[in-house]
Amino acid sequence: MDWSDKTAQAKVWFESLRDQICAEFEAIEREAGSDASFQYTPWNREEDGNPDPGGGVMGLMKGKVFEKVGVNVSTVRGTFAKEFAGSINGASADAPGFVATGISLVAHMTNPHVPAVHMNTRFLTTTKAWFGGGADLNPPIPYAEDTADFHAAMQAACDPHNPTYYERYSKWAEEYFYIPHRQVGRGVGGIFADHLECADDTGWAANFEFIKDIGKQFLAVYPMIVRKRMNTPFDAADEAQMFEYRGRYAEFNLVYDRGTIFGLKTGGNIDAILMSLPPRATWS
């Protein structure tokens, strides 16, 4: 099946979601008395012998509330290296071609009481076609109320599509966002789904609606949490706890994160790939 039209539709959604999220984050900066705005940097992918390898746009803002937040969209196409192809659903050394489109967001906050956050959703085609992604909350100083609100939003994204999704994908997030060498989770979880395969138009449409709902629920819950916590007083000890936590976050992203590995293995923009790293961190 030719999935080019479906890829184009997914790309439009990811760009629309990017625009909505960035507008909301800029509105929060205005509420804090800051004029910080996203700066957008287009980039083009290069691949020998490929006349149309695609590219993306990196959006980055450094403000008063958001110390560093990146919201990237990309649409890339080409071939995997043969030694990497076997690790990708539907790809192999004999069929290494792929097309991928998606959005990736990571926010590191100035106030330690405001949780960092990650959200990524994507659509890929190899010999198969599938959606994947999710969102997870990463507070240096956890609040049970914020954790409950975030998980409730992720469950609200899941339940209309399948009553088993939330239990399945929240458990997957717990297992995936785990740092084995530290024996600790990266954050307080969320949901993580992958290989939501699309055998036909009906399957594609159903999975696409689920992926859209993840983005919509993220947009509903995360700005609410930011506004609730962004004026909370903090001290040097709180900052020290945040910087140490950020070190753990960086370790996970550099060693285990699939998105980081995918970007590096497919010739993505290095700055866009590593925008997930915090601006300041410490290791004791």
Q: Is residue 216 classed as helix, strand or coil in its secondary structure? A: helix
**CA dist., res. 267 & res. 284, Å (int):** 33
The string of pLDDT tens digits covering residues 65-121 is 999 999 999 999 999 888 888 888 888 888 889 999 999 999 999 999 999 999 999
Tokens for 61?
Answer: 């803002």
State the average pLDDT over residues 1-16: 94
The model carries a pTM of: 0.95
Catalytic annotation, residues: 118
User: Could you tell me if 226 and 65 are in contact, meaning their C-beta atoms sit under 8 angstroms apart?
Assistant: yes
Tokens for 183?
Answer: 């024996």
pLDDT of residue 30: 98
Is domain 4-276 given the CATH code 3.40.1500.10 in the classification?
A: yes
State the average pLDDT over residues 153-160: 98
The string of pLDDT tens digits covering residues 25-71 is 999 999 999 999 999 999 999 999 999 999 999 999 999 999 999 99
CA 151 to chain CA mean position, Å: 16
* Terminal C-alpha separation, the chain: 53
In this predicted structure, the answer to whether residue 267 has a pLDDT above a threshold of 90 is: no
For residue 172, name the pLDDT band (cuts at 50, 70, 90). very high
List of residues 6+ apart from 187 with CB closer than 8 A: 115, 116, 118, 136, 137, 138, 139, 177
